[in-house]
Structure 1
């Protein structure tokens, strides 16, 4: 079995990646194979040299991080001794993102109007803990420490475990929601399986369009959570990094949206 065949099978059977992530990673593998790129530093460096000439920076950067993750899997499976991606020069795009800010407190109030109780609590949990969509979707009841008001995140990226705090109100809602259940997934379908990924996303999108006139995505909740902790809660960047499960503080920095600095407005004023 070649590295490509192994990774394709790995992605098809992966439990923790979202469907969109699996689709994107498999596409990256096909592109790599079609260009006859080998898992070697020289071959991969040539590949990314061409990518940055032909594709948007976001595409090249996303593919860089995707192949880095897949290379790490080849190491874990003992198919490679060294991940050649770690020797490839990183792709850096110096660009200030001017994303729309979603005030967390307003967002939580909007979420509380979702009619389905499962999706309502699901997104309320994400907005108040900063969990990734798949981390919340695969959360087990056994991983909630009600006495300590914390939960253990087992399915984070990079196999990083972390413990995050829960607010008293959220703990109370979780107790009521579980109705005495002590095992299994917190959020599950009537068949006892994980809630449908697309249906959950659609519930958030529908509610945000109805209340705010624009769609809201699960990732926006993590960004709002990080921004709230930094600006309103005055928490240190390292603390936010640990809560979000980021491997680098640079990633966390990209989540912080400034409410005060409106760069486009400043630039527009110069050309008035």
Structure 2
């Protein structure tokens, strides 16, 4: 039986005996045609395909731009075919058994543009409760101006104490927070954030106090991370931003914009509280994207003919 007939017999097996859906059988057919074409180009019969062949074809697919997920699906189809060949006694081992698709690159963290970040921070609405607006402005300024995590914002107290997880030292313009791994760090607080904090503290006591928390809700209880997520999403939509904003997006924006301006990766690492600089290095990719866009927009040699 030639290779094409073997493939047809296997497809009949998955269609009739395994009762796979027609669409799945069609996808298997496409994947096995690719296998047939590769084997034919290499001058090797399907039963004689080796592990090295499979790895070479995976590398070729990856170089051609096929995604890791797409390659994994193709390998799954090939693997099942060779399992069946083994049960027919036609191959001694499965050449696809220990082959894995390339890992998909981690998605870049989402960051706002500088203009969108400033638009969000400076947004004010005459229709909004002034008390809530003062609180939310201070939260945005700390998220974007200091790169704090939402958990660090939630943990801030009005005053420093032995029990406090974090606090803002206004005279020193520093935020003292308890980050991941229970590691404390101090972060500079900029002028805009200080102004927003002072405006918030001036109205904070308008509600009954049941907490030492810096940021509280209308009932005087400590604001939760979920509440901040909801308020920030609402605020970003009210500010006219196209993308709903979440707290970590502002932390990413802080890091990306700081790196674009300073180029000091170590300083960004310290400010973010990353234990390992490789965690911070992801922002160099964001910085390169920023430079690439500037190049494409401005350099005469970047403009391609249509």
TM-score category, normalised to shorter length: 0.5 to 0.7
Aligned residue in 2 for 1:5 = none
Aligned residue in 2 for 1:165 = 188
1:104/1:127 contact within 8 Å kept: no
Alpha-carbon offset, residue 105 of structure 1: 4.7
2:259/2:283 contact within 8 Å kept: no
The aligned length equals 179
State whether structure 2 residue 154 is matched by structure 1 residue 137. Answer: yes
Structure 2 residue corresponding to 1:260, chosen from 291, 294, 297: 291
Alpha-carbon offset, residue 141 of structure 1: 1.8
Q: Spell out, residue by residue over 1:177-227, the C-alpha distance to the aligned partner (whole angstroms, 9 max, x if none).
A: 11286x821111233322143332122222323412221111111111001
1:111-122 aligned at under 5 Å gives the runs 111-113=121-123, 115=128, 116-117=132-133, 118-122=135-139
1:11-160 aligned at under 5 Å gives the runs 95=105, 97-98=107-108, 101-113=111-123, 115=128, 116-117=132-133, 118-142=135-159, 143-154=167-178, 156-160=179-183
TM-align CA RMSD: 3.4
Distance in 1, matches of 2:271 and 2:188, equals 9
* Distance verdict in 2 for CA 1:103–1:250, change over 3 Å: same
Aligned residue in 2 for 1:200 = 228
Aligned residue in 2 for 1:44 = none
State whether structure 2 residue 300 is matched by structure 1 residue 239. Answer: no
State whether structure 2 residue 206 is matched by structure 1 residue 189. Answer: no
Structure ID, larger Rg: 2
Structure 1 residue corresponding to 2:248, chosen from 219, 225, 233: 219
Alpha-carbon offset, residue 107 of structure 1: 1.1
1:130/1:221 contact within 8 Å kept: yes
1:241/1:249 contact within 8 Å kept: yes
Dislocated runs of 4+, deviation >3 Å: 96-101
* Distance verdict in 2 for CA 1:176–1:242, change over 3 Å: same
Alpha-carbon offset, residue 93 of structure 1: 5.1
* Distance verdict in 2 for CA 1:168–1:208, change over 3 Å: closer
1:112/1:124 contact within 8 Å kept: no
Alpha-carbon offset, residue 110 of structure 1: 1.6
1:111/1:207 contact within 8 Å kept: no
* Distance verdict in 2 for CA 1:261–1:166, change over 3 Å: same
Q: Which runs of 5+ in 1 are unaligned?
A: 1-54, 57-91
1:111/1:204 contact within 8 Å kept: no
Distance in 2, matches of 1:192 and 1:212, equals 30
* Distance verdict in 2 for CA 1:162–1:99, change over 3 Å: closer
2:236/2:245 contact within 8 Å kept: yes
Distance in 1, matches of 2:220 and 2:118, equals 27
1:129/1:225 contact within 8 Å kept: yes
SS at match of 2:237: helix
Q: Which runs of 5+ in 2 are unaligned?
A: 1-67, 70-101, 160-166, 206-210, 297-302
2:109/2:252 contact within 8 Å kept: no
